[in-house]
Chains A and B, each alone.
Chain A
Amino acid sequence: MTFSADLEARWTSLMNRYPAGYRRGALVPMLLYAQDEVGFVSDEVVAEAAARLGLSRLQVEEVVSYYSMLRRRPMGRHHVQVCTNISCLLRGGEALWEHVRRRLNLGHRQTSPDGEFSLEEVECIGACCWAPAVQVNYQYHHQVTPERFDALLEGLKDGGRA
Protein backbone atom coordinates (compact mmCIF):
# COMPACT_ATOMS: atom_id res chain seq x y z
CA MET A 1 0.00 0.00 0.00
CA THR A 2 1.25 3.51 -0.74
CA PHE A 3 1.14 6.14 1.95
CA SER A 4 1.88 9.83 1.58
CA ALA A 5 5.50 10.93 1.90
CA ASP A 6 4.60 12.54 5.24
CA LEU A 7 3.25 9.34 6.71
CA GLU A 8 6.18 7.31 5.34
CA ALA A 9 8.58 9.72 7.03
CA ARG A 10 6.56 9.56 10.24
CA TRP A 11 6.57 5.75 10.25
CA THR A 12 10.31 5.61 9.59
CA SER A 13 11.02 8.07 12.37
CA LEU A 14 8.74 6.16 14.76
CA MET A 15 10.37 2.82 14.02
CA ASN A 16 13.78 4.27 14.90
CA ARG A 17 12.71 5.57 18.31
CA TYR A 18 12.63 2.30 20.20
CA PRO A 19 15.55 0.15 21.36
CA ALA A 20 16.80 -2.84 19.39
CA GLY A 21 14.45 -5.76 19.86
CA TYR A 22 11.59 -3.44 20.87
CA ARG A 23 10.76 -1.79 17.55
CA ARG A 24 7.19 -2.93 18.10
CA GLY A 25 6.90 0.01 20.50
CA ALA A 26 6.10 2.07 17.42
CA LEU A 27 2.90 0.13 16.72
CA VAL A 28 0.24 2.23 18.45
CA PRO A 29 1.57 5.59 17.17
CA MET A 30 1.97 4.11 13.65
CA LEU A 31 -1.64 2.94 13.62
CA LEU A 32 -3.00 6.23 14.92
CA TYR A 33 -1.08 8.37 12.43
CA ALA A 34 -2.09 6.02 9.60
CA GLN A 35 -5.71 6.26 10.70
CA ASP A 36 -5.47 10.05 10.53
CA GLU A 37 -4.52 9.77 6.87
CA VAL A 38 -6.59 6.79 5.70
CA GLY A 39 -9.64 7.59 7.84
CA PHE A 40 -9.59 4.31 9.74
CA VAL A 41 -7.38 1.30 10.41
CA SER A 42 -8.04 -0.52 7.16
CA ASP A 43 -7.02 -4.10 6.38
CA GLU A 44 -4.17 -2.64 4.35
CA VAL A 45 -2.95 -0.57 7.31
CA VAL A 46 -3.04 -3.66 9.54
CA ALA A 47 -1.13 -5.74 6.98
CA GLU A 48 1.43 -3.01 6.34
CA ALA A 49 2.11 -2.31 10.02
CA ALA A 50 2.44 -6.05 10.65
CA ALA A 51 4.89 -6.48 7.76
CA ARG A 52 7.06 -3.54 8.78
CA LEU A 53 7.30 -4.60 12.43
CA GLY A 54 7.61 -8.34 11.82
CA LEU A 55 4.29 -9.11 13.51
CA SER A 56 1.37 -11.26 12.45
CA ARG A 57 -1.82 -9.49 11.41
CA LEU A 58 -3.52 -11.05 14.43
CA GLN A 59 -0.97 -9.43 16.76
CA VAL A 60 -1.84 -6.07 15.24
CA GLU A 61 -5.60 -6.75 15.42
CA GLU A 62 -5.44 -7.56 19.11
CA VAL A 63 -3.76 -4.23 19.77
CA VAL A 64 -6.24 -2.31 17.60
CA SER A 65 -9.20 -3.79 19.47
CA TYR A 66 -7.86 -2.57 22.81
CA TYR A 67 -7.61 1.15 22.06
CA SER A 68 -10.83 3.13 21.77
CA MET A 69 -9.41 5.70 19.34
CA LEU A 70 -8.40 3.05 16.79
CA ARG A 71 -11.25 2.16 14.41
CA ARG A 72 -11.63 -0.66 11.96
CA ARG A 73 -14.48 1.15 10.15
CA PRO A 74 -14.49 4.59 8.55
CA MET A 75 -15.67 7.50 10.68
CA GLY A 76 -17.31 10.64 9.40
CA ARG A 77 -15.23 13.44 7.94
CA HIS A 78 -16.13 15.28 11.13
CA HIS A 79 -15.91 12.96 14.11
CA VAL A 80 -17.87 14.64 16.91
CA GLN A 81 -17.03 13.53 20.44
CA VAL A 82 -19.07 14.73 23.39
CA CYS A 83 -17.80 14.23 26.93
CA THR A 84 -20.41 13.30 29.52
CA ASN A 85 -18.07 12.32 32.34
CA ILE A 86 -18.53 13.84 35.80
CA SER A 87 -17.22 17.38 35.37
CA CYS A 88 -19.01 17.80 32.06
CA LEU A 89 -22.15 16.07 33.39
CA LEU A 90 -22.37 18.60 36.24
CA ARG A 91 -22.28 21.47 33.74
CA GLY A 92 -24.85 20.35 31.25
CA GLY A 93 -22.96 17.66 29.36
CA GLU A 94 -25.90 15.29 29.34
CA ALA A 95 -28.32 17.82 27.85
CA LEU A 96 -25.64 18.75 25.33
CA TRP A 97 -25.21 15.10 24.34
CA GLU A 98 -28.97 14.75 23.79
CA HIS A 99 -28.99 17.94 21.75
CA VAL A 100 -26.09 16.82 19.57
CA ARG A 101 -27.72 13.44 19.01
CA ARG A 102 -30.90 15.11 17.78
CA ARG A 103 -29.08 17.64 15.64
CA LEU A 104 -26.92 15.05 13.91
CA ASN A 105 -29.64 12.41 13.98
CA LEU A 106 -27.01 9.90 15.00
CA GLY A 107 -26.44 7.60 17.96
CA HIS A 108 -23.27 6.62 19.78
CA ARG A 109 -20.61 5.48 17.31
CA GLN A 110 -22.83 5.97 14.27
CA THR A 111 -21.84 7.58 10.99
CA SER A 112 -24.13 9.57 8.71
CA PRO A 113 -24.94 7.93 5.34
CA ASP A 114 -23.10 10.68 3.44
CA GLY A 115 -19.99 10.10 5.56
CA GLU A 116 -19.88 13.72 6.72
CA PHE A 117 -20.46 13.17 10.45
CA SER A 118 -19.94 10.51 13.05
CA LEU A 119 -20.80 10.79 16.72
CA GLU A 120 -19.40 9.37 19.91
CA GLU A 121 -20.08 9.84 23.62
CA VAL A 122 -16.63 9.88 25.17
CA GLU A 123 -15.03 9.57 28.57
CA CYS A 124 -13.03 12.38 30.16
CA ILE A 125 -10.94 14.27 27.60
CA GLY A 126 -9.13 16.50 30.09
CA ALA A 127 -11.22 19.64 29.75
CA CYS A 128 -12.91 19.44 33.16
CA CYS A 129 -12.36 23.09 34.10
CA TRP A 130 -13.81 24.26 30.78
CA ALA A 131 -16.82 21.95 30.72
CA PRO A 132 -18.81 20.80 28.95
CA ALA A 133 -16.36 19.89 26.23
CA VAL A 134 -16.55 18.57 22.70
CA GLN A 135 -13.76 17.39 20.42
CA VAL A 136 -14.18 17.39 16.66
CA ASN A 137 -11.40 15.35 15.12
CA TYR A 138 -8.57 16.57 17.37
CA GLN A 139 -9.91 20.08 17.95
CA TYR A 140 -11.14 21.02 21.43
CA HIS A 141 -14.24 23.14 21.97
CA HIS A 142 -14.87 24.32 25.49
CA GLN A 143 -17.90 25.48 27.46
CA VAL A 144 -20.18 24.29 24.70
CA THR A 145 -23.86 25.11 25.02
CA PRO A 146 -26.48 23.74 22.61
CA GLU A 147 -26.46 27.16 20.88
CA ARG A 148 -22.70 27.17 20.57
CA PHE A 149 -22.80 23.67 19.19
CA ASP A 150 -25.29 24.76 16.52
CA ALA A 151 -22.93 27.56 15.47
CA LEU A 152 -20.03 25.11 15.39
CA LEU A 153 -22.08 22.75 13.27
CA GLU A 154 -22.88 25.46 10.73
CA GLY A 155 -19.14 26.15 10.42
CA LEU A 156 -18.43 22.47 9.82
CA LYS A 157 -21.14 22.20 7.19
CA ASP A 158 -19.64 25.17 5.38
CA GLY A 159 -16.65 22.97 4.69
CA GLY A 160 -14.45 23.83 7.67
CA ARG A 161 -12.34 21.05 9.07
CA ALA A 162 -13.12 21.80 12.66
Chain B
Amino acid sequence: MTGEGLYHEPHPAEVALLTRRFRLPRSASIDTYLAHDGYRAIEKALGMSPEQIIAEVTASALRGRGGAGFPAGLKWGFVPRQSPKPKYVVINADESEPGTCKDRLLMELDPHQLIEGVLIAARVVDARAGYLYVRGEYRYLIEILDRAIGEAYQRGFLGANILGTGFQFDLHTHTGAGAYECGEESALLESLEGKRGIPRIRPPFPAVVGAFRCPTVLNNVETFSSVPWIILNGGEAYASLGTKKNGGTRLFCLSGHINRPGVYELPLGFPLRRMIEEVGGGVANGKKLKAVIPGGSSCPVLAAEETDLPMDYDSLQRAGSMLGSGGVVVMDENTCMVKMALRIMRFYAHESCGWCIPCREGTQWLSQLLARFHGGGGSERDIQAIGELAQNMLGKTFCPLGDAAALPTLSIVKKFRREFEDHLDGRPCPYR
Protein backbone atom coordinates (compact mmCIF):
# COMPACT_ATOMS: atom_id res chain seq x y z
CA MET B 1 0.00 0.00 0.00
CA THR B 2 1.41 3.36 -0.99
CA GLY B 3 -0.72 6.45 -0.73
CA GLU B 4 -3.40 5.05 -3.02
CA GLY B 5 -6.85 5.74 -1.80
CA LEU B 6 -5.70 8.53 0.49
CA TYR B 7 -7.77 11.07 -1.36
CA HIS B 8 -11.37 11.16 -0.30
CA GLU B 9 -14.58 12.09 -2.09
CA PRO B 10 -14.45 15.88 -2.46
CA HIS B 11 -16.51 17.88 0.02
CA PRO B 12 -19.00 20.38 -1.53
CA ALA B 13 -17.24 23.28 0.22
CA GLU B 14 -13.98 22.45 -1.53
CA VAL B 15 -12.70 24.57 -4.43
CA ALA B 16 -10.65 22.28 -6.62
CA LEU B 17 -7.72 23.98 -8.31
CA LEU B 18 -4.72 22.03 -7.05
CA THR B 19 -6.75 18.89 -6.57
CA ARG B 20 -8.83 19.10 -9.74
CA ARG B 21 -7.13 16.10 -11.36
CA PHE B 22 -6.74 14.02 -8.19
CA ARG B 23 -9.63 11.69 -8.87
CA LEU B 24 -8.91 11.06 -12.54
CA PRO B 25 -7.72 7.58 -13.43
CA ARG B 26 -3.90 7.47 -13.64
CA SER B 27 -3.78 11.09 -12.52
CA ALA B 28 0.02 11.04 -12.25
CA SER B 29 0.61 10.15 -15.91
CA ILE B 30 1.58 12.75 -18.47
CA ASP B 31 -1.24 11.70 -20.80
CA THR B 32 -3.84 12.46 -18.16
CA TYR B 33 -2.12 15.74 -17.41
CA LEU B 34 -1.96 16.75 -21.08
CA ALA B 35 -5.63 15.91 -21.56
CA HIS B 36 -6.53 18.30 -18.72
CA ASP B 37 -4.74 21.61 -19.39
CA GLY B 38 -1.30 20.07 -18.83
CA TYR B 39 1.76 22.04 -19.94
CA ARG B 40 -0.38 24.78 -21.46
CA ALA B 41 0.75 27.20 -18.75
CA ILE B 42 4.44 26.82 -19.61
CA GLU B 43 3.58 27.27 -23.26
CA LYS B 44 1.86 30.52 -22.36
CA ALA B 45 4.66 31.55 -19.98
CA LEU B 46 7.26 31.07 -22.72
CA GLY B 47 5.47 33.82 -24.63
CA MET B 48 5.55 36.17 -21.63
CA SER B 49 8.45 38.21 -20.29
CA PRO B 50 9.83 37.35 -16.84
CA GLU B 51 8.41 40.66 -15.59
CA GLN B 52 4.95 39.74 -16.85
CA ILE B 53 5.09 36.36 -15.10
CA ILE B 54 6.24 37.94 -11.83
CA ALA B 55 3.47 40.54 -12.14
CA GLU B 56 0.88 37.79 -12.58
CA VAL B 57 2.15 35.83 -9.56
CA THR B 58 2.28 39.02 -7.50
CA ALA B 59 -1.29 39.89 -8.50
CA SER B 60 -2.39 36.41 -7.45
CA ALA B 61 -1.38 37.11 -3.81
CA LEU B 62 0.06 33.60 -3.66
CA ARG B 63 1.94 33.20 -0.40
CA GLY B 64 4.41 30.48 0.55
CA ARG B 65 2.65 27.26 1.50
CA GLY B 66 5.56 25.81 3.44
CA GLY B 67 4.90 27.80 6.58
CA ALA B 68 6.31 31.31 6.46
CA GLY B 69 3.67 32.69 4.06
CA PHE B 70 6.05 34.98 2.17
CA PRO B 71 4.56 36.39 -1.08
CA ALA B 72 5.86 34.22 -3.93
CA GLY B 73 6.00 36.98 -6.55
CA LEU B 74 8.11 39.14 -4.25
CA LYS B 75 10.46 36.25 -3.50
CA TRP B 76 10.97 35.55 -7.21
CA GLY B 77 11.58 39.24 -7.81
CA PHE B 78 14.54 39.20 -5.39
CA VAL B 79 16.55 36.87 -7.63
CA PRO B 80 19.19 38.96 -9.46
CA ARG B 81 18.39 37.84 -13.01
CA GLN B 82 21.23 39.88 -14.52
CA SER B 83 23.83 38.05 -12.41
CA PRO B 84 26.36 36.13 -14.55
CA LYS B 85 26.13 33.17 -12.16
CA PRO B 86 23.94 30.17 -12.98
CA LYS B 87 20.52 30.24 -11.30
CA TYR B 88 18.74 27.31 -9.69
CA VAL B 89 15.25 26.30 -8.68
CA VAL B 90 14.96 24.23 -5.52
CA ILE B 91 11.73 22.59 -4.48
CA ASN B 92 11.20 22.02 -0.78
CA ALA B 93 9.53 18.60 -0.61
CA ASP B 94 10.88 17.86 2.85
CA GLU B 95 7.37 17.94 4.33
CA SER B 96 7.98 17.15 8.01
CA GLU B 97 5.94 19.58 10.07
CA PRO B 98 3.83 17.45 12.41
CA GLY B 99 0.21 17.64 11.26
CA THR B 100 1.13 18.13 7.59
CA CYS B 101 0.67 15.57 4.81
CA LYS B 102 -0.45 17.56 1.77
CA ASP B 103 2.66 17.79 -0.42
CA ARG B 104 2.64 14.02 -0.37
CA LEU B 105 -0.68 14.01 -2.26
CA LEU B 106 0.43 16.72 -4.69
CA MET B 107 3.49 14.66 -5.64
CA GLU B 108 1.72 11.33 -5.71
CA LEU B 109 -1.41 12.35 -7.58
CA ASP B 110 -0.29 15.22 -9.82
CA PRO B 111 3.52 15.36 -10.17
CA HIS B 112 3.34 17.07 -13.57
CA GLN B 113 1.49 20.04 -12.08
CA LEU B 114 4.50 20.51 -9.79
CA ILE B 115 7.00 20.08 -12.64
CA GLU B 116 5.14 22.66 -14.70
CA GLY B 117 5.13 25.17 -11.83
CA VAL B 118 8.87 24.65 -11.42
CA LEU B 119 9.40 25.20 -15.16
CA ILE B 120 7.59 28.53 -14.98
CA ALA B 121 9.81 29.66 -12.09
CA ALA B 122 12.87 28.49 -14.04
CA ARG B 123 11.71 30.51 -17.03
CA VAL B 124 11.43 33.65 -14.84
CA VAL B 125 15.01 33.54 -13.58
CA ASP B 126 16.48 31.64 -16.56
CA ALA B 127 17.55 28.74 -14.36
CA ARG B 128 19.05 25.73 -16.15
CA ALA B 129 18.69 23.19 -13.36
CA GLY B 130 16.40 22.37 -10.48
CA TYR B 131 16.48 20.02 -7.51
CA LEU B 132 13.49 18.41 -5.87
CA TYR B 133 14.53 17.86 -2.25
CA VAL B 134 12.27 15.03 -1.04
CA ARG B 135 12.38 13.69 2.51
CA GLY B 136 13.92 10.22 2.67
CA GLU B 137 10.81 8.62 4.14
CA TYR B 138 8.92 9.51 0.93
CA ARG B 139 10.85 6.97 -1.13
CA TYR B 140 7.82 5.86 -3.14
CA LEU B 141 7.27 9.47 -4.16
CA ILE B 142 10.80 9.73 -5.55
CA GLU B 143 9.94 6.80 -7.81
CA ILE B 144 6.74 8.54 -8.95
CA LEU B 145 8.58 11.82 -9.49
CA ASP B 146 11.44 10.18 -11.41
CA ARG B 147 8.90 8.51 -13.67
CA ALA B 148 7.10 11.82 -14.25
CA ILE B 149 10.38 13.62 -14.93
CA GLY B 150 11.28 10.89 -17.44
CA GLU B 151 7.94 11.39 -19.22
CA ALA B 152 8.47 15.15 -19.32
CA TYR B 153 11.90 14.68 -20.95
CA GLN B 154 10.41 12.29 -23.51
CA ARG B 155 7.74 14.77 -24.52
CA GLY B 156 10.11 17.72 -24.69
CA PHE B 157 8.98 19.60 -21.56
CA LEU B 158 12.38 19.16 -19.91
CA GLY B 159 15.84 19.10 -21.43
CA ALA B 160 17.76 21.00 -24.06
CA ASN B 161 15.18 22.73 -26.24
CA ILE B 162 11.87 22.94 -24.44
CA LEU B 163 8.92 23.24 -26.86
CA GLY B 164 11.41 24.25 -29.56
CA THR B 165 12.07 27.63 -27.94
CA GLY B 166 15.70 27.11 -26.98
CA PHE B 167 14.75 27.24 -23.29
CA GLN B 168 16.78 24.64 -21.43
CA PHE B 169 16.10 23.12 -18.01
CA ASP B 170 17.08 19.91 -16.21
CA LEU B 171 15.25 18.64 -13.13
CA HIS B 172 16.62 16.15 -10.61
CA THR B 173 15.24 14.45 -7.52
CA HIS B 174 17.36 14.52 -4.37
CA THR B 175 16.62 12.54 -1.23
CA GLY B 176 17.03 13.71 2.33
CA ALA B 177 17.62 11.13 5.05
CA GLY B 178 15.59 12.04 8.10
CA ALA B 179 15.97 15.57 9.48
CA TYR B 180 13.12 18.00 10.17
CA GLU B 181 15.65 20.82 10.23
CA CYS B 182 16.28 20.35 6.49
CA GLY B 183 12.81 21.76 5.81
CA GLU B 184 14.25 25.14 6.82
CA GLU B 185 15.45 26.63 3.56
CA SER B 186 19.08 27.41 4.41
CA ALA B 187 19.60 24.06 6.15
CA LEU B 188 18.02 22.39 3.13
CA LEU B 189 20.60 24.06 0.89
CA GLU B 190 23.44 22.83 3.11
CA SER B 191 21.99 19.34 2.95
CA LEU B 192 21.69 19.59 -0.84
CA GLU B 193 25.43 20.27 -0.91
CA GLY B 194 26.11 17.01 0.95
CA LYS B 195 26.63 18.45 4.40
CA ARG B 196 24.95 18.40 7.79
CA GLY B 197 21.75 20.44 7.67
CA ILE B 198 22.95 23.40 9.70
CA PRO B 199 21.19 26.71 9.01
CA ARG B 200 23.09 29.49 7.27
CA ILE B 201 23.26 33.02 8.59
CA ARG B 202 21.05 35.36 6.57
CA PRO B 203 21.36 37.70 4.77
CA PRO B 204 22.33 36.85 2.13
CA PHE B 205 19.03 35.11 1.39
CA PRO B 206 18.79 32.12 -0.97
CA ALA B 207 17.40 34.36 -3.73
CA VAL B 208 20.89 35.89 -3.95
CA VAL B 209 23.18 33.20 -2.51
CA GLY B 210 21.37 29.87 -2.50
CA ALA B 211 22.11 26.46 -3.97
CA PHE B 212 25.80 26.03 -4.79
CA ARG B 213 26.33 29.69 -3.81
CA CYS B 214 24.18 30.86 -6.73
CA PRO B 215 20.89 32.78 -6.98
CA THR B 216 18.02 30.39 -6.24
CA VAL B 217 14.25 30.29 -6.30
CA LEU B 218 13.23 28.11 -3.35
CA ASN B 219 9.59 27.32 -2.63
CA ASN B 220 7.39 24.62 -1.21
CA VAL B 221 5.77 21.92 -3.40
CA GLU B 222 2.30 23.41 -3.01
CA THR B 223 3.50 26.91 -3.88
CA PHE B 224 4.98 25.73 -7.19
CA SER B 225 1.96 23.52 -7.86
CA SER B 226 -0.31 26.57 -7.60
CA VAL B 227 1.51 28.47 -10.35
CA PRO B 228 0.23 26.76 -13.54
CA TRP B 229 -3.39 27.60 -12.70
CA ILE B 230 -2.41 31.22 -11.99
CA ILE B 231 -0.66 31.58 -15.35
CA LEU B 232 -3.56 30.00 -17.25
CA ASN B 233 -6.37 31.84 -15.48
CA GLY B 234 -4.69 35.04 -14.37
CA GLY B 235 -3.48 36.37 -11.04
CA GLU B 236 -6.64 38.36 -10.44
CA ALA B 237 -8.87 35.30 -10.77
CA TYR B 238 -6.72 33.46 -8.25
CA ALA B 239 -6.58 36.36 -5.81
CA SER B 240 -10.37 36.77 -5.90
CA LEU B 241 -10.87 33.27 -4.50
CA GLY B 242 -9.24 34.18 -1.20
CA THR B 243 -9.17 37.25 1.02
CA LYS B 244 -7.14 40.45 0.72
CA LYS B 245 -3.40 39.68 0.40
CA ASN B 246 -4.24 35.98 0.81
CA GLY B 247 -4.93 34.68 -2.67
CA GLY B 248 -6.40 31.42 -3.85
CA THR B 249 -6.91 28.09 -2.20
CA ARG B 250 -4.69 25.87 -0.14
CA LEU B 251 -4.64 22.34 1.16
CA PHE B 252 -5.70 21.97 4.77
CA CYS B 253 -4.83 18.70 6.52
CA LEU B 254 -7.51 17.95 9.12
CA SER B 255 -6.25 15.49 11.69
CA GLY B 256 -6.63 14.48 15.32
CA HIS B 257 -10.01 14.15 17.01
CA ILE B 258 -12.15 14.76 13.96
CA ASN B 259 -14.79 12.62 12.28
CA ARG B 260 -13.50 12.96 8.73
CA PRO B 261 -9.76 13.53 8.78
CA GLY B 262 -8.34 14.31 5.36
CA VAL B 263 -6.68 16.79 3.03
CA TYR B 264 -9.18 19.42 1.83
CA GLU B 265 -8.69 22.21 -0.68
CA LEU B 266 -10.39 25.33 0.60
CA PRO B 267 -10.16 29.04 -0.18
CA LEU B 268 -7.97 31.19 2.03
CA GLY B 269 -10.14 32.82 4.66
CA PHE B 270 -12.40 29.77 5.09
CA PRO B 271 -13.86 29.88 8.63
CA LEU B 272 -12.06 27.51 10.98
CA ARG B 273 -15.27 26.54 12.80
CA ARG B 274 -16.90 25.52 9.54
CA MET B 275 -13.80 23.64 8.55
CA ILE B 276 -13.98 21.54 11.70
CA GLU B 277 -17.72 21.12 11.94
CA GLU B 278 -18.89 20.97 8.37
CA VAL B 279 -15.93 19.82 6.30
CA GLY B 280 -14.37 17.58 8.93
CA GLY B 281 -17.72 16.38 10.25
CA GLY B 282 -17.17 17.75 13.74
CA VAL B 283 -15.20 16.54 16.75
CA ALA B 284 -15.02 12.75 16.92
CA ASN B 285 -17.27 10.74 19.26
CA GLY B 286 -19.58 13.67 19.87
CA LYS B 287 -17.13 15.31 22.23
CA LYS B 288 -16.54 19.01 22.72
CA LEU B 289 -13.66 20.90 21.19
CA LYS B 290 -10.83 21.90 23.52
CA ALA B 291 -8.12 23.29 21.26
CA VAL B 292 -6.79 23.46 17.71
CA ILE B 293 -3.27 23.69 16.31
CA PRO B 294 -4.06 25.71 13.18
CA GLY B 295 -1.01 25.17 10.97
CA GLY B 296 1.34 22.44 12.15
CA SER B 297 3.10 21.87 15.47
CA SER B 298 5.09 25.13 15.34
CA CYS B 299 1.98 27.26 15.65
CA PRO B 300 0.61 28.54 18.95
CA VAL B 301 -2.53 26.60 19.85
CA LEU B 302 -5.96 28.17 19.74
CA ALA B 303 -8.39 27.44 22.56
CA ALA B 304 -11.90 26.41 21.46
CA GLU B 305 -13.29 29.88 22.15
CA GLU B 306 -10.71 31.41 19.77
CA THR B 307 -11.73 29.36 16.75
CA ASP B 308 -14.26 31.74 15.24
CA LEU B 309 -11.86 33.13 12.68
CA PRO B 310 -11.09 32.99 8.97
CA MET B 311 -8.14 30.81 8.00
CA ASP B 312 -5.80 33.24 6.28
CA TYR B 313 -2.28 34.33 7.15
CA ASP B 314 -3.20 37.76 8.49
CA SER B 315 -6.20 36.69 10.60
CA LEU B 316 -4.15 33.95 12.24
CA GLN B 317 -1.33 36.37 12.93
CA ARG B 318 -3.78 38.79 14.55
CA ALA B 319 -5.02 35.91 16.70
CA GLY B 320 -1.44 35.37 17.90
CA SER B 321 -0.86 32.23 15.91
CA MET B 322 0.11 31.26 12.35
CA LEU B 323 -1.45 29.66 9.30
CA GLY B 324 1.80 27.69 8.92
CA SER B 325 1.82 24.61 6.72
CA GLY B 326 -1.92 23.92 6.72
CA GLY B 327 -1.86 21.19 9.37
CA VAL B 328 -5.05 21.64 11.41
CA VAL B 329 -4.85 19.39 14.46
CA VAL B 330 -8.07 19.06 16.45
CA MET B 331 -8.10 18.18 20.15
CA ASP B 332 -11.19 17.15 22.10
CA GLU B 333 -12.20 17.99 25.68
CA ASN B 334 -10.34 15.00 27.16
CA THR B 335 -6.96 15.88 25.68
CA CYS B 336 -4.22 16.58 28.21
CA MET B 337 -2.56 19.81 27.10
CA VAL B 338 0.49 19.18 29.29
CA LYS B 339 1.01 15.94 27.42
CA MET B 340 0.61 17.74 24.09
CA ALA B 341 3.19 20.34 25.15
CA LEU B 342 5.51 17.51 26.17
CA ARG B 343 5.11 15.57 22.93
CA ILE B 344 5.67 18.67 20.83
CA MET B 345 8.76 19.56 22.87
CA ARG B 346 10.18 16.04 22.63
CA PHE B 347 9.90 16.39 18.87
CA TYR B 348 11.83 19.65 18.78
CA ALA B 349 14.45 18.33 21.20
CA HIS B 350 14.95 15.38 18.83
CA GLU B 351 15.12 17.59 15.76
CA SER B 352 17.20 20.50 17.04
CA CYS B 353 20.39 20.42 14.98
CA GLY B 354 22.40 21.63 17.96
CA TRP B 355 23.98 24.59 16.20
CA CYS B 356 22.41 27.30 18.38
CA ILE B 357 22.75 26.81 22.12
CA PRO B 358 19.38 28.33 23.20
CA CYS B 359 17.56 25.81 21.01
CA ARG B 360 19.79 22.81 21.71
CA GLU B 361 19.72 23.31 25.49
CA GLY B 362 16.28 24.86 25.78
CA THR B 363 14.47 22.04 24.01
CA GLN B 364 16.27 19.42 26.15
CA TRP B 365 15.56 21.19 29.43
CA LEU B 366 11.96 21.85 28.53
CA SER B 367 11.46 18.30 27.43
CA GLN B 368 12.75 16.98 30.76
CA LEU B 369 10.80 19.52 32.77
CA LEU B 370 7.55 18.78 30.94
CA ALA B 371 8.07 15.03 31.30
CA ARG B 372 8.58 15.39 35.04
CA PHE B 373 5.57 17.66 35.26
CA HIS B 374 3.30 15.33 33.34
CA GLY B 375 4.48 12.47 35.54
CA GLY B 376 3.22 14.33 38.60
CA GLY B 377 6.60 15.59 39.83
CA GLY B 378 6.11 19.24 39.00
CA SER B 379 5.96 22.20 41.33
CA GLU B 380 4.30 25.61 41.08
CA ARG B 381 7.73 27.11 40.37
CA ASP B 382 8.19 24.77 37.43
CA ILE B 383 5.22 26.31 35.63
CA GLN B 384 7.01 29.63 35.69
CA ALA B 385 10.31 27.99 34.71
CA ILE B 386 8.70 26.41 31.65
CA GLY B 387 7.49 29.81 30.52
CA GLU B 388 10.85 31.45 31.19
CA LEU B 389 12.88 28.80 29.41
CA ALA B 390 10.64 29.03 26.35
CA GLN B 391 10.77 32.82 26.42
CA ASN B 392 14.56 32.70 26.44
CA MET B 393 14.67 30.73 23.21
CA LEU B 394 12.56 33.19 21.23
CA GLY B 395 14.45 35.11 18.59
CA LYS B 396 17.82 33.83 19.75
CA THR B 397 18.58 31.25 17.06
CA PHE B 398 19.79 31.27 13.44
CA CYS B 399 16.69 29.50 12.14
CA PRO B 400 13.05 29.42 13.27
CA LEU B 401 13.27 25.99 14.95
CA GLY B 402 13.89 27.59 18.35
CA ASP B 403 10.81 29.77 17.96
CA ALA B 404 8.84 26.80 16.64
CA ALA B 405 9.59 24.95 19.87
CA ALA B 406 8.97 27.88 22.18
CA LEU B 407 5.76 29.32 20.73
CA PRO B 408 3.39 26.36 21.19
CA THR B 409 4.72 25.81 24.71
CA LEU B 410 4.19 29.43 25.68
CA SER B 411 0.67 29.37 24.26
CA ILE B 412 -0.22 26.21 26.17
CA VAL B 413 1.15 27.53 29.46
CA LYS B 414 -0.74 30.77 28.96
CA LYS B 415 -4.07 29.34 27.80
CA PHE B 416 -4.17 26.09 29.78
CA ARG B 417 -2.38 26.98 32.99
CA ARG B 418 -5.08 25.25 34.97
CA GLU B 419 -4.16 21.95 33.41
CA PHE B 420 -0.61 22.38 34.67
CA GLU B 421 -1.99 23.07 38.12
CA ASP B 422 -4.09 19.92 37.90
CA HIS B 423 -0.87 17.93 37.67
CA LEU B 424 0.68 19.39 40.84
CA ASP B 425 1.37 17.59 44.12
CA GLY B 426 2.07 14.19 42.59
CA ARG B 427 -1.43 13.84 41.19
CA PRO B 428 -1.75 11.46 38.26
CA CYS B 429 -2.74 13.00 34.94
CA PRO B 430 -6.48 13.73 35.28
CA TYR B 431 -7.13 13.82 31.53
CA ARG B 432 -7.77 10.60 29.65
| A contacts, CB < 8 Å to B | 17-19, 21-22, 24-29, 31-32, 53, 62-63, 66-70, 84-87, 89-91, 123-131, 135, 138-142
Contacts and interface: CB of A to CB of B under 8 A. Distances in A.
11 contacts: A19-B129, A19-B212, A25-B192, A25-B194, A28-B191, A68-B178, A69-B177, A86-B347, A90-B331, A125-B137, A130-B261
Interface of B: 1-3, 6, 86, 95-101, 103-104, 129, 131, 135-140, 172, 174-180, 191-197, 212, 253-257, 261-263, 293, 297, 327, 329-331, 335, 340, 343-344, 347, 350-351, 353
A13 to B, nearest CB: 9
Contacts of A17: 131, 172, 174
Contacts of A141: 1
Contacts of A86: 98-99, 256, 293, 297, 329, 340, 343-344, 347
Among A18, A28, A142, chain B packs the most CB atoms within 10 A around the CB of: A28
Contacts of B98: 85-87, 123-124, 128
A137 B297 CA distance: 26
A125 B101 CA distance: 8
A126 B137 CA distance: 9
A67 B1 contact: no
Nearest to B196: A66
Given A29-B175, A138-B137, A126 B196 contact: no
Contact of A91 (B100, B175, B177, B256): B256
Nearest to A66: B196
Nearest to B408: A86
Contacts of A135: 137
Among A63, A66, A85, A140, chain B packs the most CB atoms within 10 A around the CB of: A66
Given A85-B347, A129-B253, A138 B139 contact: yes
Nearest to A49: B194
A90 B1 contact: no
A87 B255 contact: yes
Given A128-B327, A131-B255, A32 B192 contact: no
A77 to B, nearest CB: 17
B343 A84 contact: yes
Contacts of B6: 129-130, 142
A85 B351 CA distance: 12
Please give me the 6 A-B residue pairs with the lowest Cβ-Cβ distance, nearest first.
A69-B178, A27-B194, A68-B178, A24-B194, A67-B177, A87-B255
Given A22-B212, A68-B179, A123-B351, A128 B194 contact: no
A51 to B, nearest CB: 15
A30 to B, nearest CB: 9
A20 to B, nearest CB: 9
